[in-house]
Amino acid sequence: MTKVSPSLLAADFLHLDREIQMINHSEADWLHLDVMDGMFVPNISFGFPVLEAVATICQKPLDVHFMIERPERYIAQTAKLGAMMMNVHQEATVHLHRTVQEIHAAGMKAGVTLNPSTPVNTLEDIITDVDMVLLMSVNPGFGGQKFIENTIVKVKRLRQLIADSGSHALIEVDGGVQGETAPRLVEAGVDVLVSGSYVFKATDPEAVIHGLKQL
Ligand code: DX5
Ligand code: ZN
């Protein structure tokens, strides 16, 4: 069954408590948390004080997506939070292999994220070491953007790379995931759907999550 990881970036920040209770009550598998630094991406979202507060009440595993330069600086702090998955951008860390080993040593699963313009084959030499590949289907930094169509063929290429290498990595896609794009992504081979505005801006977010789970 498809996993769903709603992105808190699209939530009502004035009522985070209520939004997280909704997630706890829903069929969401994980909660996706987007950390931005205004350097790697042209926006700033939230940091550890907010993550720590969220972690105290969220009953779903935390899927943390770092859109920051040199994310390896925050491995220990992320582990302390109790995060299940730490996603780092391939473009933001020079020694990706070391970063992945350190994430594992800290007790978390390691996800590697690719920007829309970064080819899947750059993962050839790391694919058997990672637990997940997060493909960006928009340029990272903002919610509510238009899905980049090339992601579909990229998912298929990644599915092939995973099969050829014997890797157990999951494929997650993030950006513009909604009613029209989600079924096509699952058909192409996606395991985990991240969805922000489609879930949180809906009149019935729990029903939307339920719908995505059926794909
Ligand atoms: C964008 C973030 C996404 C964002 C997705 O940089 O990584 O997780 O919240 O938002 P939607 O689903 O609205 O495109
Ligand atoms: Zn994200």
pLDDT one-digit tens code per residue, 64-110: 999 999 999 999 999 999 999 999 999 999 999 999 999 999 999 99
Distance (angstroms) between ligand 1 centre and the Cα of 32 equals: 9
Distance (angstroms) between ligand 1 centre and the Cα of 176 equals: 7
38, β-bridge pairs:
none
Mean pLDDT of 137-156: 98
**In this predicted structure, what is the pLDDT of residue 154?**
98
Mean pLDDT of 139-144: 98
Gap between the Cα atoms of 15 and 71, Å rounded: 28
What ligand 1 atom has the least distance to the C-alpha of 10? 9
| Distance from the first to the final alpha carbon of the chain | 7
pTM, entire model:
0.98
The single-letter code of the amino acid at 19 is: E
Helices (H) and strands (E) in the chain, counts: 8, 8
Residue 181 beta carbon below 6 angstroms from any ligand 1 atom: no
Please, what is the average pLDDT of the chain?
98
Ligand number nearest to the C-alpha of 10: 1
Distance (angstroms) between ligand 1 centre and the Cα of 9 equals: 7
